[in-house]
Amino acid sequence: MSKVIGVLDLQGDVVEHIDHFNRLGVKTRRVKKPEHLQGLRGLVMPGGESTCLRRLLKLFGLDESIRQAVRETGTKVWGTCAGAIILAAEVDGVREGMGVMDIAVQRNAFGSQLASFQTEARIPAVSDKLLPLTFIRAPKIIRAEEGVRVLLELDGYIAMAENEPALVTVFHPEMTPSLAFHRYFAEKCACLPEPMSEKTQHTGDKDTDESWNPTSWTRLAMVDAMKRNL
């Protein structure tokens, strides 16, 4: 199995995740069809709109293919925000998620888009530093069953958790300069290259890339546009 992490490319924060993995020197692949899952060690299911993502997964025949990849080939999955909703076993009191992780999720738990916010937290499993967290119309994990390891709890709800095949975060790590969460998932997938790239070494903090800014991902979008026009 090659050291490649896929990013579900149907809707949501696709290039933002690819940009973060690129900064770590991790190879990525866009996943639009079931055959794109072949040989992947990991798959990111990005933030976006969960109802839209669920319909697109069924339309493209990816929902059962992802379950199969997790179950039969050991592919790890990471759901961020809407992706966490998709991977959950229970959503808003209904057993309608993929069930890759036995958690119960409440959608739009903080209210409208205007209730989005940023904060910081220390997550020992991920880093010994305070990490920036960006919540955008985020869900809450309100219950985790046996076999789920809670990595971050804030104000009575769970914000980050994992089990053997999966990782979920209700916030958006791809919207900050921190590489810590992408590094953590790459390590879970055994995809992190060694030695660490010079780009992250020069900052003095292996998990922060000071060259990142909120529009860094647009360079990848421009490359994609140029490729389509060739």
Catalytic residue among 174, 182, 189, 191: 174
State the virtual CA torsion across 144, 132, 112, 167 in degrees, nearest 10. -30
Our measurement of the distance from residue 214's CA atom to the centroid of its chain's CA atoms, rounded to an integer in Å, reads 17
Among 144, 186, 140, 162, CA closest to 24: 186
Catalytic residue among 16, 17, 20, 81: 81
Concatenating the DSSP letter of every residue in 192-216 gives --SSPPHHHHTTS-TTB-TT--TTT
Catalytic residue among 17, 172, 182, 189: 172
For 219, list phi and psi in degrees, rounded to 5: -65, -35
Mapping DSSP to helix (H, G, I), strand (E, B) and coil, where does residue 87 land?
helix
**Is residue 194 among the annotated active site residues?**
no
**Is residue 191 among the annotated active site residues?**
no
**Is residue 174 among the annotated active site residues?**
yes
Our measurement of the distance from residue 189's CA atom to the centroid of its chain's CA atoms, rounded to an integer in Å, reads 13
Our measurement of the distance from residue 36's CA atom to the centroid of its chain's CA atoms, rounded to an integer in Å, reads 17
Do 172 and 181 form a contact (C-beta atoms < 8 A)? Answer: no
Which residues participate in catalysis according to the annotation?
81, 172, 174
